[in-house]
């Protein structure tokens, strides 16, 4: 009688192990999916913060556009007078606004 019961318990245990393997695989897939979604959300938040602070608004070499740094303006007057060189520092522009013209 005990031997029969032990055989039944072993079969029941195999069923439990199969069920546990399936549950473990499903849980692993859910963890991976959650990690990917969380990573994408964090990446989006970082990109939004960088855009808000102007990390992608020029300032690099060769890309064209205004770097927002120091500008040197050369003004040449008639040959009978002297040549004047003026150095100005332009304020950074805000997107959507046009900069004021430099004084002569």
Domain ranges of the chain: 1-56
- Identify the pLDDT of residue 15: 95
Contact (CB, 8 A) for 73 and 86: yes
- Identify the pLDDT of residue 101: 74
List, for residues 38-82, the tens digit of each pLDDT value. Answer: 999 999 999 999 988 888 877 655 544 455 567 777 777 766 655
Q: How many residues does the chain have?
A: 104
pLDDT band of residue 14 (cuts 50, 70, 90) is: very high
Contact (CB, 8 A) for 77 and 83: yes
Global pTM value: 0.46
The sign of the dihedral angle between the CA atoms of 46, 47, 51, 57 is positive
Contact (CB, 8 A) for 75 and 85: yes
Phi, psi of 87 (to 5 degrees): -115, 125
Tokens of 100: 């004021």
Q: What is the mean pLDDT of residues 4-22?
A: 94
DSSP element (H, E) containing 72 = strand 70-75
Give percent of the chain with pLDDT exceeding 90: 43
pLDDT band of residue 22 (cuts 50, 70, 90) is: very high
- Identify the pLDDT of residue 32: 97
């Amino acid at each position: 009688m005990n031997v029969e019961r032990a055989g039944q318990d072993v079969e029941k245990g195999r069923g439990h192990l199969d069920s546990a393997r399936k549950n473990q695989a499903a849980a692993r897939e859910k963890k991976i999916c959650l990690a990917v979604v969380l990573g994408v959300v964090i990446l989006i938040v970082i990109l939004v913060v960088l855009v808000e602070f102007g990390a992608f608004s020029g300032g690099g070499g060769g890309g064209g556009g205004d770097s927002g740094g120091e500008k040197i303006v050369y003004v040449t007057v008639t040959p009978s007078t002297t040549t004047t060189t003026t150095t100005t520092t332009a304020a950074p522009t805000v997107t959507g606004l046009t900069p004021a013209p430099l004084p002569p």
